[in-house]
Amino acid sequence: MHEKPILQHSSVHRELLIHKDECQLSYNPLLMALLWDALATRDTRLLTHSIRNRERIPEGCAWVNYLRCHDDIGWTFDDNDAWQLGINPQDHRRFLNEFYTGRHPGSFSKGVPFQYDPETGDLRISGTLSSLAGLEKALEEKDSTLIETAVRRINMLRSIKVSIGGIPLLYAGDEYGAMNDYTYLSDPVKATDTRWVHRARKQWEAAEDLEDPHTLEWRFFHEMVTLFQQRKKTPALRNGGMEVIDAGNHHIFGYIRKNSDQQFLILNNFSESNQVVTAQRLIAAGLTTEAVNVFTRAVVSPKSDLEIEGYRYLWIDITAG
């Protein structure tokens, strides 16, 4: 039986949970939960604070980074981290549950409640990456602007999974943007377990859509291929080392990936609106000469503030600096 979640989370540093002599590879639920948190709040402070302080692991070990899996999503951030930022952790978990089940005003999500506890009010969230990130709702409303916004959210999250320290895990269906499958409700064996909403059968017809550049399936697939191809030819991403930076903007999540030969600055905008990282912050992050965003080939200069479009990500090669 799936155990009920515990509201009070341990303050023990998560680096103690992974040890080179006992566990060289571990799922990274903290990153997963806090990426969804930042997406709902448009605020990266809890994400930045927690990952900076709780991602340290011994050399020779690695995290497995994922955005969702076969199981539910629980809000596994540490209570002490939340309190340090002036956030009431129980209230915040309640907000996240309301947001990702679509009950909070302005929510874009179509998540489904899992394992509600009437005594504590706690619950978990089921749903696919695309439905949680707003694509299902946007398609229902037939709003092209909302569809584009949802696609950007999804691709930004996938970029972080691929570029942040660790091994990216791609869950079946995410390569073409699979959405919630509600057919489980007609099966008495599955109907009481909402996790089946994201355990859909393989959609073989999606393979045909992957050949049509006018479909969202094609766009998602080729964006994913591009990310993995860039990862493979980027030496800075070939180890687990990662340093979170202070971007000076609560909407931006940034980090450095590097090895002895290469250094990348990666910036992610968790807001719908354009956001700015000042030249001073860029220099502090290691950008001392002109550098290039490897996806667009746009030049980034330490002499100018950098404006990032809504839900966009930048991989900037700052090796020369």
**Residue matched to tokens 């995290």:** 63
Tell me how far apart the 2 most distant CA atoms of the chain are, in Å. Answer: 63
* Averaged pLDDT, 295-307: 96
Q: Give the pTM.
A: 0.91
Q: If we measure between CA atoms, which residue out of 197, 320, 204 comes closest to residue 262? A: 320
With contact defined as beta carbons under 8 Å apart, do 122 and 93 qualify?
yes
pLDDT interval class at 306 (50, 70, 90): very high
Q: If we measure between CA atoms, which residue out of 114, 208, 220, 215 comes closest to residue 173? A: 220
* Averaged pLDDT, 81-90: 96
Cβ burial, residue 212 (10 Å; 0-12/13-18/19+): exposed
Is the model's pLDDT at 120 over the cut of 80? Answer: no
Q: Which of 9-23, 167-181, 226-240 has the least mean pLDDT? A: 9-23
Share of the chain above pLDDT 70, in %: 90
pLDDT interval class at 205 (50, 70, 90): low
Is the model's pLDDT at 75 over the cut of 50? Answer: yes
Q: How far apart are CA 302 and CA 286, in angstroms?
A: 9
Residue 1 pLDDT: 34
Residue 2 pLDDT: 36
Q: If we measure between CA atoms, which residue out of 152, 76, 139 comes closest to residue 110? A: 139
CB contact burial 286-300 (16+ within 10 A = b; e otherwise): bbeeebebebeeeeb
Is the model's pLDDT at 321 over the cut of 80? Answer: no
Domains of the chain (ranges, CATH numbers): 14-232 (3.20.20.80), 243-317 (2.60.40.1180)
Is the model's pLDDT at 15 over the cut of 80? Answer: no
With contact defined as beta carbons under 8 Å apart, do 9 and 79 qualify?
yes
User: DSSP secondary structure string, 253-319?
Assistant: EEEEEE-SS-EEEEEEE-SSS-EEE-HHHHHHTT--S-EEETTT--EE-TTS-EEE-TT-EEEEE-T
Which residue type occupies 187? D
Q: If we measure between CA atoms, which residue out of 106, 129, 166, 162 comes closest to residue 313? A: 162
Any idea what the Cα angle at residue 127 is, between residues 140 and 10, rounded to 5°? 140
Q: How far apart are CA 245 and CA 266, in angstroms?
A: 10
pLDDT, averaged across the chain: 90
Q: How far is CA 56 from the centre of its chain?
A: 19
Q: How far apart are CA 74 and CA 96, in angstroms?
A: 10
